[in-house]
Every structure is written in C-alpha cells, then in structure tokens.
Amino acid sequence: MTNLKNFADILETAENKGKKIYEICQLLESENTEKPVREIRERVKEIIAAMKAAINAGLQSDEKSAGGMCGDDCAKLVAMYKNGKSLFGGLHQKILKYSLATVEQNARMGKIAACPTAGSCGIVPSVIIAVSEELEVDEEREADALITAGLIGKIVSNKLALAGAVAGCQSECGVASAMAASAIVELYGGTNEQIINAAALTLKNIMGLVCDPVAGLVEIPCVKRNAFLSIYAVVGAELALAGIKSVIPVDEVVDAMKQVGEMMSPKLKESSEAGLATTPTGIKIAEELSEKWNNQ
C-alpha cells in the first residue's frame, strides 16, 4: 500500500478491503515505520491527551501573548456563555471555546499539538474533543477520528506544502478545517465517501485564503481565524453527512489549491507585506511592537 498518494487511491483501497479510512491509514503507518498498529494508536492517544491539556490550560488563562495582541478572547467568550448569552448551542460553544483556548495557548508559547501547523493548532483539536464529548465516545473513537484527519492532511501535503509561506493560509487553517470536517464525519459513523466529500467541500470553499499576519506574529488574524474555521469544518461535515457531494473530485480540488498558491503573490504568503498586515492599524501595531522590543 506504499504507493497510495492520492484520495482516489485511498478510497479505492479502503472500499476494496472493506475498511474505514483510519484503518488504511494506521496500516500504512505501520508499514512505513515498521511499528505495530497498537503502538501507533498509543502515540495518537498521547497526542490527543496533549490536545486536551492545551485546551484546559487555555480555558484557565487570560494571560496576554508576548505580542500582547491576544490572550483574553477565550475568557470573554466563556464569560458570555456563563451569562446565558449565545447564538450557538452547546456543541458549537465548546468548539469556539476550545479553538480559542488552544491557539491562544500557542501564542503564549504553551505546549500544543501542531495539527497540521502551529498557526492552525486550534481547529482539529477543538472539533475532535468537543464532538467526542458531545457523543460521549471513548478514546479509541477519538483516535479513529484523529487518524482520519491525519491522513487527509498527509494526502494534501503530497502535492501542497502545509505552510502559509508556500500557499497562503488555505494550506494551513484551510487544510486543518478539512481535516476536522473529515474527523467529524468519522465520529458520526459516516462512510468513507462522506469523509472524502467533507474534505473536498471544505477545501474548495476556503481556496485562496491568504496569510497576512500583523507584525509577522501568529496572532492577528490567526487566532480568530482558528475559531471561524473550526465552525466551518462543521458545515463541511454536515453537508457531507447529508449525502451532498463535491462536484469537483477532491484530488482536483487539491490541484486547484496548488495552482492558486503558485499564482498567489509572495506578499500574501506570511511575509506581512500586504493584506491586514499593511493596513494603517496593522502598520501602527508593528511599529509599536518594534519600538517596545528594541527598548527592552
């Protein structure tokens, strides 16, 4: 199975063998690492534990980041929910809280699981942990979901580097959102085809998302973007579970993302030379931070 390089191959192999996508993934990992599946799954559970620890630490802190641009947004959200105010129900509230808690913990230089990157670290954990709590599933099912998400990210990375500096935020938060959407479908018992369609639907509707961090820090707009795209993953999963399919096959969607990334200006790829980073307010923040750090 070492030649499985795209989603079509993965789906065909899974269907022919009568296995779920996560089972194919863990068999591939076992083959590539020469480690038993049991050992691989234990490692996945350790990563999930780290995700939960980051969420818990983030929920208990309102400490500002080193840049001072974030750190207390999650606390504000928690306070609002305690007062009974929300447009969302319990699951969506959890996803928003958990995503902000995680990515703010990253901005404080806390321990997180980069999934698939540090800048997008709040998306996959918040979705998997919140949905798992909602469904009251055990750690084995959590592991199934994360392994599924991991394979989605791995297959995309075969064609497109998961880095904002290469293809913009579509390849970081965008891919994380697709990974999370697929994980949700797995947790809800969806089919392999639905898992793949969740990824396709999510990816093609985030295409072209730029990377324009203010002052070059993973704070603005990165923190709030994690919250938005965590909820976006729910939309992708919901559509797929309803039997809605992506007209454009997912492998072609990834090809299109790569094309868009190559056409994207370098100024919109993590360089902070355009977009939000060069708004008057963005420039002012960068200048103030530069002066502050130079005086330290």
Is 15 within the bounds of a domain?
Answer: yes
What predicted TM-score, i.e. pTM, was given to this entire model? Answer: 0.96
Tell me: the pLDDT tens digits for 63-96? Answer: 999 888 999 999 999 999 999 989 999 999 999 9
Tell me: the pLDDT tens digits for 213-227? Answer: 999 999 999 999 999
- Contact status, residue 151 vs residue 24, Cβ threshold 8 Å: yes
pLDDT at 160 over 80: yes
pLDDT at 99 over 80: yes
Domain that holds residue 135: 7-294
Confidence of residue 2 (pLDDT cuts 50, 70, 90): low
Is 2 within the bounds of a domain?
Answer: no
| Of 133, 212, 131, the residue nearest 173 (C-alpha) | 212
Residue 165 neighbours by CB under 8 Å, 6+ apart:
211, 269, 270, 271
Is 250 within the bounds of a domain?
Answer: yes
Is 161 within the bounds of a domain?
Answer: yes
Give alpha helix (H) positions in 60-208.
73-82, 90-107, 123-135, 139-157, 164-167, 173-187, 192-204
Distance in angstroms (rounded) separating the CA atoms of residues 246 and 69: 38
Is 215 within the bounds of a domain?
Answer: yes
Q: Residue 92, Cβ neighbours under 10 Å: how many?
A: 15
Is 179 within the bounds of a domain?
Answer: yes
User: What CATH code is carried by the domain that includes residue 242?
Assistant: 1.10.4100
Query: What's the rounded mean pLDDT across residues 38-56?
Result: 98
Is 164 within the bounds of a domain?
Answer: yes
The total number of structural domains that make up the chain: 1
Is 173 within the bounds of a domain?
Answer: yes
Distance in angstroms (rounded) separating the CA atoms of residues 288 and 284: 6
- Contact status, residue 5 vs residue 151, Cβ threshold 8 Å: no
Tell me: the pLDDT tens digits for 238-288? Answer: 999 999 999 999 999 999 999 999 999 999 999 999 999 999 999 999 999
